[in-house]
Chain A
Amino acid sequence: MKRERETPAVAGRLPRRALMQGVAAGSVASIMAAAGRPAAAADAGPYPQHPKWKFVFVNHVTANPFFVPCQYGIQDACALLGCDYQWTGSETSDVAQMVNAMNTAIAGKADAVAVCLVDPKGFERPVEAALAAGIPVFSYNADSRSTKRLAYIGQDLFLSGQMMGERIVKLVGSGKVAIFIATPGQLNLQPRYDGAADAIKKSGADIQLSMIATAPAANESLSKIDAYYLGNQDVKGMFGTGGGDTQNCGLISRKYNLAAKGVHAGGYDMLPRSLEAVRDGFLDFVIDQQPYLQGFYTVMEMFAWKVSGGLVGPADIDTGLKFVTKDSVGPLLETKTRYEGSAKDPQILPHSGPIAG
């Protein structure tokens, strides 16, 4: 019968079709992945010819706007030195995903790895494995002393917390203060709170401090801070430990006109809404940790290590702690630069006049 004769013909086509579709899938994927293929050798100024080293950056919030200038810093340093980079990790501070990304980098024999050590113990094994495989490991943005990384490039988080604590004492004097933290316990934020609490306690001021957990996503954290204020309208200060929370403190201060009511606010990082809040008086200060440098200097350290075979030792770099207040926020708002992450094009910004201390 016709139907029976068709069956073997159909079955005969199957393996070929499956194979062709598999090849099609692979080739389409390869076209898309072609962008990430590094070149063979690179020419890097005064240094002799070297292969285009691949530096892998493992991050805990790969899609967070705070790290956009960090990525620009990495790109610029890599372009300068003839190297290549990969930006990977987790979008949701998932430590297991970051560990997977690190292990893949080690298996792929990356030339150097940088990782935000947001967990006190979670990265110990992968870092040891990387070092055992001869891959230098640096930490940036967040650090853990118990993990055997070669150097840390970023802000001294505990110290920055202490400085914020001292400023809180100066601004608020006495009363109820809330400090918001998106992911308690994680090492990119917790030391800031700990530093602030430490400074406030040491000052002996009559401040009732609360640590309020919000959320890694900015919109969720806004609702939580709003709810906190409505339930605690006698609060004298609302401060954030991260970019999102700080921005949201500024928005809530603006919403309820808290500055006029004598409520102080401030925090970290220079998201556009935060800078506007500083200009308009709703935030007393924001602290810049210079993410561009966290990317740029890390690549520099990796390159120096590679080019000298590890003889030029890695060193901790404090990318700084700058208080931005109403007096200094002007230029930051007027310019949109690659160094702040707000623009993509390379620029040179001229400076004139004396440099304020």
Chain B
Amino acid sequence: MAEGAAGTTLTSRAFGLLLRPEASVVVVSVALVLYFQFANAYFVSTANVQTLSQFVAAPVIIACGEIMLLICREIDLSVGQVFALAPFLMENINDVGVPEPLAIVAALAVCALIGLMIGLITIGLRVPSFITTLGMLFLITGLTLTISRGYPANTAGGPVLTGIMGAWAYSEIVWALAIVAVMHVLLRHTRWGLHTVAIGGNLLAAAEAGIAINRIKIGNFVLTSTLGGLTGLLEAFRVGSIDPLAGGSNIMFLGVASGVIGGTAIAGGAGTIIGGLVGGIMLGILQDGFTLQGINAFTFDIVIGAAILIAMIANIHLARLRGGGPQ
């Protein structure tokens, strides 16, 4: 039976949207928002939306970088440590007399160099990125502790700079959305993104097609480390204090989880930045909502873990229905 003419275009477009991998996550997120609002009248309040945006922003920015790497079948485990290192770099550079905005740029440049180093070791010396970044994880942790002598430090800078860099309540989420927009365009509408997906989809074919695999992968490592450093700076300015214990594997896992929940395949080859955003939003809703509910710390982890599992099971079954997953 052939489909009707103009009348079904809108419906088929709506179905088309719902068939997208991110749709199931959005549906689950909306259901969660309704549930939490029913359970606690303050969920949808200005103060809580602000707090929620702060839960969401950091993992989403990290996810943007990790998704690019996951798509081309790599991973960066050390991004949480670069997160902790960057504010100390900025503080040290600022201490020798460099003005704050330049110190921020210099710190990000060092993070980019760390990403370059990771890329060169992984590609040049043919070490699996899991291992390279595992080694870098410990190395950078030690570097952070050494630079900071284990002590927390204060953030410096005038109200405008600190406001832009995270102190204003909504600045982090604005940064996150801007980065998501840029990365989405990068992934979907530039050659870089196209080549990244090609490398993840079929490495041999990509090589045969003349894609500069090494350059793309190294570039993605640089991108991830820089985004990790930027996130660390934003969080440090938000809290007003630079903490050597900040970030770590926890934020890295949250970033990777946001990407995976939003539809990025752990094995590589597929993924979207928007998926990372909605995945991050869902994780943020869960964390913020259950804390607002008054769940105690011990049961909190049980509830979050179960909620993530349920959301992913829902996601995967919907993928099967779309015909995308294993049959």
Task: Spell out A's residues near B (CB within 8 Å).
Answer: 4-5, 8, 10-11, 13-15, 17-19, 21-30, 32-33, 35-38, 54, 56, 59, 62-63, 84, 86-89, 91-96, 99-101, 103-109, 119-122, 124-125, 133, 183-186, 213, 216
Q: How far is the CA of A59 from the CA of B307 in the complex (A)?
A: 24
Q: How far is the CA of A129 from the CA of B80 in the complex (A)?
A: 28
* With known contacts A14-B18, A107-B42, A119–B297 Cβ distance under 8 A: no
Q: Are B241 and A18 in contact (CB under 8 A)?
A: no
Q: Are B243 and A94 in contact (CB under 8 A)?
A: yes
Task: Spell out B's residues near A (CB within 8 Å).
Answer: 1, 3, 15, 18-19, 23-24, 27-28, 30-32, 34-35, 39-40, 42, 45, 47-48, 50-51, 54-55, 58, 145, 149-152, 154, 235, 238-241, 243, 245-248, 250, 287-288, 290-300, 302-303, 306-307, 310-311, 314, 317-318, 321-322
Q: Are A213 and B295 in contact (CB under 8 A)?
A: no
Find A25's partner among B15, B31, B245, B250 (CB 8 Å cutoff).
B31
Q: Are B295 and A86 in contact (CB under 8 A)?
A: yes
Among A32, A54, A87, A122, which residue has the most Cβ atoms of chain B within 10 A?
Answer: A122
Name the A residues within 8 Å of B48 (CB-CB).
104, 107-108
* With known contacts A24-B310, A95-B243, A122-B239, A185–B151 Cβ distance under 8 A: yes
* With known contacts A26-B35, A95-B239, A184-B149, A109–B42 Cβ distance under 8 A: yes
Find A96's partner among B145, B235, B295, B307 (CB 8 Å cutoff).
B235
Q: Are A62 and B297 in contact (CB under 8 A)?
A: yes
Name the A residues within 8 Å of B47 (CB-CB).
103, 106-107, 133
Name the A residues within 8 Å of B287 (CB-CB).
100
Find B250's partner among A94, A101, A108 (CB 8 Å cutoff).
A94
Find A23's partner among B31, B40, B235, B295 (CB 8 Å cutoff).
B31
Name the B residues within 8 Å of A84 (CB-CB).
294
Q: Tell me how far the C-beta of A158 lies from the nearest C-beta in chain B, rounded to whole angstroms.
A: 17
* With known contacts A14-B321, A33-B303, A121–B240 Cβ distance under 8 A: yes
Q: Are A87 and B296 in contact (CB under 8 A)?
A: yes
Among B24, B54, B296, B297, which residue has the most Cβ atoms of chain A within 10 A?
Answer: B297
Q: Are B293 and A18 in contact (CB under 8 A)?
A: no
Q: Tell me how far the C-beta of B225 lies from the nearest C-beta in chain A, rounded to whole angstroms.
A: 20
Output the nearest chain A residue to B84 by Cβ-Cβ distance: A94
Output the nearest chain B residue to A13 by Cβ-Cβ distance: B321
Output the nearest chain B residue to A91 by Cβ-Cβ distance: B297
Q: Tell me how far the C-beta of A125 lies from the nearest C-beta in chain B, rounded to whole angstroms.
A: 6
Among A17, A28, A93, A95, which residue has the most Cβ atoms of chain B within 10 A?
Answer: A95
* With known contacts A18-B18, A108-B42, A121–B241 Cβ distance under 8 A: yes
Name the A residues within 8 Å of B288 (CB-CB).
100, 104
